[in-house]
Amino acid sequence: MNFRLATQDDIPALSRIRLSVKENTLSDPTLISTAMYEQFLLHEGKGWLCEIAGKTTGFAIAAYPDHSIWALFVLPEYEGRGVGTQLLNLATDHLFTQGASEIKLSTTPHTRADRFYAQQGWQRGNEGKEVAYLLKRSI
């Protein structure tokens, strides 16, 4: 597994991964545009990806304005191999280094992602259409 910073050139691969997931699917794939990826990767955040044997298998994007995880997705066939955990750690470590005291994210309730964040030690919030999670910096 090779982890590196994501660049603008990686956006097509990131988009393919985002659209490949079986849960947390987009009701309308055009909701997440190339411009949105560019905004977060180039101006309002930082992203990382994982490559295995030259194939991009997952990515995470940390957002600066609200200290959140804007995206964390792994190709379904690579789930359970530690890709998501490592990407999440890269993104959260970076946000804490940038001064965040807590980091938030949201996901669809009762999904693998919901269980994943709980297992990673995130505090689960109220549940509605989405469930919010919070991770506080350990002192």
Q: Say what the pTM is.
A: 0.92
pLDDT tier, 9 (very low <50, low <70, confident <90, very high otherwise): very high
Which two structure tokens, joined as six digits, stand for 88? 């999440």
Q: Residue 139 has what pLDDT?
A: 60
Overall domain count for the chain: 1
- 3-class DSSP string for 67-83: CEEEEEEECHHHCCCCH
Mean pLDDT of the chain: 92
Domain that holds residue 86: 2-136
Distances (CA, A) of 128 to 118, 123, 125, 135, 138: 16, 15, 10, 19, 28
**Per-residue model confidence as pLDDT tens digits over 26-37:** 667 777 889 999
By DSSP bridging, strand 68-74 and strand 45-52 are: unpaired
CATH of the domain at 41: 3.40.630.30
**Per-residue model confidence as pLDDT tens digits over 45-77:** 999 999 999 999 999 999 999 999 999 999 999
